[in-house]
Amino acid sequence: MPHPVVRHRSGFLAVPLVTALLTIAQLLTLEALRPGRAAAGGPPPAAVVADAVQAYGAAGTLAVVVARQQTPITEGSIRAAEARADRRASYRSDNGPVADRPFPTASMVKLFMAEDILGRARDGSITLTPDDRQLLQEMIRRSDDPAASALWVRFGGGQMVRDVAARYGLAGTGPPPAAIPGQWGQAVTTAQDLARFLARLPVVAHPADAADLLHWMRTATPEAADGFDQQFGLFGTLPGTPAVKQGWMCCVDGQRHLHSVAVVGSRVVVLLSEVPRSVDYDAARSALTAAGAAVAATTRTPGGR
């Protein structure tokens, strides 16, 4: 049986009614993906943030940001690429002022160091030996502190943090206070800045350097170089093979810090936490892992869409 058709002013329009209805359905689908709506079949980012905060409970202070990673413009029109970038930028949420509050970075600063060192080696301003590249990999995968200390001294210390902050527009990120220049773990950053860094990494860094850094994060070891169990927060809770970096430190101003960041599919998640020194690592890890599990519950596929 032929499909019914839609009458147009000039006669009969050669578009089946079923096709017209499908077009309307497609438009409604596009509307559902506008800013503030759920994207790619998952919950809106504000719901992910709220679930993580609720799961964390009252152990201490938690800063959460959920965002989308940007992608380089490689094909299609500039207008289409800009529209994609706008959609990704709109997929972002946090838990308020605490997401803009500076925290000691602990090992999160290693991400900034690796990006800066790889970029400078690529433009020829420094030369890396095979041993240097091994140190970079160990610094990220195993969170190796002696490796980070060696690279910090050799390649400029706090200036690396300043340069990354300038390139990525990280307003709350800076090196350690002048009084403690060698303590790279006391550099400061915010959850917003870490999310911005990870979201913009593919479009600011050279593609090969971004790929190396994300690969090292995806192959993070369950146990750190110092024997600390790295499987807390987002590491070990998210499906698939997310790119993760963990940080822990005690104690700055009487506070213990545990941090966890991840890129899973195109989603960027940042969890920065602070508890009083009286709260031991086991309790702090348990609270942050509960927050990570809440994020994992909203990640519907191993691709993390």
- pTM comes to 0.83
Sorted by where each begins, the domain ranges of the chain are 46-296
Please report how the helices 191-204 and 158-168 are oriented relative to each other, as an axis angle in degrees rounded to 10: 80
Q: Where are the beta strands (DSSP E) in 84-236?
A: 93-94, 103-104, 188-189
- DSSP 8-state symbol, 131: H
pLDDT of residue 164: 98
β-strand pairing of 267-276 with 255-264: antiparallel
Helix/strand/coil for 277:
coil
Q: How is residue 175 annotated by DSSP?
A: -
- Per residue of the chain (305 residues), give pLDDT as tens: 444 433 333 333 333 433 333 333 333 333 333 333 344 457 899 999 999 999 999 999 999 999 999 988 766 655 555 555 555 556 899 999 999 999 999 999 999 999 999 999 999 999 999 999 999 999 999 999 999 999 999 999 999 999 999 999 999 999 998 767 679 999 999 999 999 999 999 999 999 999 999 999 999 999 999 999 999 999 999 999 999 999 999 999 999 999 999 999 999 999 999 999 999 999 999 999 999 999 999 885 444 44
Could you tell me if 234 and 271 are in contact, meaning their C-beta atoms sit under 8 angstroms apart? Answer: yes
Convert the pLDDT of each residue in 92-149 to its tens digit: 999 999 999 999 999 999 999 999 999 999 999 999 999 999 999 999 999 999 999 9
Give residue 264's pLDDT: 96
CA–CA gap between residue 88 and residue 92 (Å, rounded): 8
CATH superfamily of 46-296: DD-peptidase/beta-lactamase superfamily (3.40.710.10)
- How far is it, in rounded angstroms, from Cα 80 to Cα 84? 6
The number of angstroms, rounded, from the C-alpha of 137 to the middle of its chain's C-alpha atoms is 18
Give me the pLDDT at residue 197, please.
Answer: 98
Q: What confidence tens digit (pLDDT) does each residue in 16-29 have?
A: 433 333 333 333 33
* The pair of three-digit structure tokens given for residue 34, joined into one six-digit string: 């506008």
Instruction: Check residue 32 and give its pLDDT.
Output: 35
DSSP state of 61: E
Q: State the pairing for strand pair 188-189/243-252.
A: unpaired
Q: What's 77's DSSP letter?
A: -
Taking a C-beta distance cutoff of 8 angstroms, is the pair 56, 287 a contact? yes
Specify whether the backbone of 241 is left (phi greater than 0), alpha (psi in -120 to 50) or beta.
beta
How many whole angstroms separate alpha carbon 14 and alpha carbon 203?
44
Distance, C-alpha 126 to centroid of its chain:
27
Question: Nearest 10 degrees: CA dihedral of 140, 204, 241, 152?
Answer: 0
Specify the pLDDT at position 181.
64
16 beta partners = 5
| 14 residue type, one letter | A
Backbone angles phi, psi at 103, to 5 degrees: -120, 150
